[in-house]
Amino acid sequence: MVFADELFLYLFLPLCLVFYFIMPKVYMKNAVLILFSLVFYAWGEQLYILLLIGSALINYGAGLAVEKFREKPCGKAVFALAIILDIGLLAAFKYSGFIAENLNRIPGLAIPVPDVHMPIGISFFTFQNISYTVDCYWEKTKVQRSFPKYLLYISMFPQLVAGPIVRYSQIAMEIDERRTTFNDLSDGFSRLIIGIAKKVMIANNLNTAVVACFGESADNYAAADSLTAFGAWYGAALVALWYYFDFSGYSDIAIGLGRIFGFHFNENFEHPFICKSITEFWQRWHISLGTFFRDYLLYVPIFGKRRKYGGLLLVWFCTGLWHGASWNFVLWGLYYGAFIMIETLIGKKRMKKLPAFIAHIYTKAVIILGFGIFYFEKLPALGKFFKAAFGFSANSSSSIIKMVFMQNVFLFAAAILLTLPIIDRFKKLSERSVQAAAAVSALGIVCNLLLILVSSILLLNTTNNPFLYFRF
């Protein structure tokens, strides 16, 4: 089941809300959320719901064992085993085919390449399990003694299949005691509607334009062969905007649903395209993933010692690989890692002295080229994209690119405009006076009604609206 679907919006969610809010006690509300979350996941994954529950049970048990045997070797052994099982689970379902394909490049090897279905959301709920177990081991959070409460943390449907990656410590108190205020409901439904509109009205149309320019990401060699320099940069810019509106739209929905149920998830996107450095971009883009790797991997000792640049290399290698079992994702991670290393060597003070105009040109060029790397999963097609981007393509013009540009010029301009913190400006405006607050509130209600109406109409004409990060 996906959020951008009328079945979810007009049947599943209303039923969940009715049962949730008629329950008088928090433990009853938790039971409703667990039940609906398991139904939500099983709707698309059937038996893999057992994998979700099993992985939660392993880490729940590991937390208890770590607390009981903290100072004993068996406590460390249980902790290590839980982390190995978590990583092994992710590797088996997500990377086994990739590993076999690359091993078969060795002369004489012919390992059967497994065709394993990757359960939706496995990257996200595995990382949440890992963060909980590590935090228990490091004594950064209290161990949860109730398995139903821990299962709620892992399985909660707003953030289950595509994040954000929620730390247990962020919502531990709210699992036991929370209430939904009027502001929570208002802000929550607003975020939900905005997220749906981002997906249905903007991301889906950008997707159509991207495919027209680049072809499908898994098989786009022919499309890459006909690219011009303008087509390469324009198409990659479309990809950047598409991914932003699709993934930030999902995050808006998840955060909004969390607010409705009384949970306060951290922001996952904070207007990343207004950045003036690549370091700042990654402080604003997919924040929950970046902070996960920073907190759990950056300072891991390498050969017995913490190594600043070695840690950065490891973080960005893993960031790329996390996104998919393909070498282009690894290159994409290392590409960003290289720029962040360079900026680290230059220093924050020197980077801030860079004129704003130059800083924006530099960051947008790096970001756009980076999304080209991200999109072209086949390395030969990626090579042709690079040739075109840097002017080495034999093509000087393309009627297809011109047509796509002219057909989507207003969509492209609107998408760029909507990456700016416009809503934040209106919120600041509402703080000036009671009259301004009332005017902004009324405008917000009208806009929300229009957005959900238009989105619902558009949903009638589409049969499938999967979010991009479902496959990661």
Q: Which of 117, 264, 286, 323 is catalytic?
A: 323
Q: Which two tokens stand for residue 267?
A: 């922001």
- From the list 226, 199, 198, the residue with the least C-alpha distance to 212 is 226
- From the list 275, 283, 264, the residue with the least C-alpha distance to 365 is 275
C-alpha to C-alpha distance for 303 and 394, rounded to whole angstroms: 48
| Alpha-carbon distance values, 176 to 36, 151, 262 (Å) | 18, 13, 11
| Alpha-carbon distance values, 67 to 70, 154, 304, 380 (Å) | 5, 20, 26, 51
| Alpha-carbon distance values, 124 to 90, 91, 312, 443 (Å) | 10, 13, 22, 36
C-alpha to C-alpha distance for 300 and 421, rounded to whole angstroms: 36
| Alpha-carbon distance values, 262 to 4, 174, 455 (Å) | 22, 7, 25
C-alpha to C-alpha distance for 176 and 262, rounded to whole angstroms: 11
Active site residue 323: yes
Q: Which two tokens stand for residue 37?
A: 């979350």
C-alpha to C-alpha distance for 131 and 125, rounded to whole angstroms: 10
C-alpha to C-alpha distance for 278 and 339, rounded to whole angstroms: 7
Catalytic residue ranges:
323
